[in-house]
Structure 1
């Protein structure tokens, strides 16, 4: 069994902002969850049988509408994140029709390869999404973002939260590709890019 992620990668400028914020978190709080992860926005993450990988790699194109842009809106926080049980800091991407259609097309192309483990979440929508697609964050429940880090609730974050929320970000990004990675804990191994 292998874990596959379909990602939006940040452009050069946004990647620089993410890496700078990751360095600040590391200096203030030490090593935290997601801190060493590749800067990315997850569209769809799923488990699959290793034998499916060759078939998955053959997918080189996903048809999407002409407008392929989105806006990086602001900094934000998932307080007591249901996945990490920590505060997850991120750059929020404004979800638009393009992103909704992109996730829908990705699911249509790749969800047939998903292997669903016996997992339960504390949320009905997440459970339903996982049973259907092998991923809890679908449609209304998908909040596109670039993660900085998920910081332990044991750490005093009061001042950092105030400073983080004051950071002004408003950037446009246009996509030509999405990227397929194999995920092994904190490591992300590039497999291929898919033209959109």
Structure 2
């Protein structure tokens, strides 16, 4: 399976996390190419960020000429999904929010989201509602504050707080937990060691789901 995986923000550190998460889900014969745009926001928070990132994602996909069987958009805004589908009607295009929520639905029960800043909560909630999963959402827990700094380092800086939030979400009754945000790619397997319920990594969920739709 050949996938183009696009990080819609320009953080090289986040792109590295996404690449590592995707590669960890690879099977023999897979070939993944993970890219980020040449321009745009380092982290997508505002509507303005999302609009610029959408243009950058489309330009990145348009400029990629190698054969691929599918495209993964590695932001929880599913940034540019509609536009990329219009550009590449021949292959499946999937955002990591869509994939993560599909995994939560398949696991059943109520699920929680854990993320790294209060400013991300409204956008995450909007994606839950868009996926018609609001009734299954137990809640969204976040690290206090909105001083993101380098998005490529948030999972290292907030590791302990994110682990605590997962434990609290489990204690509230979550049957599964979604890690909310592309910068958290690859963290779920590490946190899973101390959490009794499944923690869903959107990038890995997208890679696995792609296997069911790639022709």
* TM-score, normalised with respect to structure 2: 0.29
Question: Which has the larger Rg?
Answer: 1
- Structure with greater proportional strand content: 1
1 or 2 for the larger relative contact order (CA 8 Å, sep ≥6)? 1
* TM-score, normalised with respect to structure 1: 0.31
- Structure with greater proportional helix content: 2
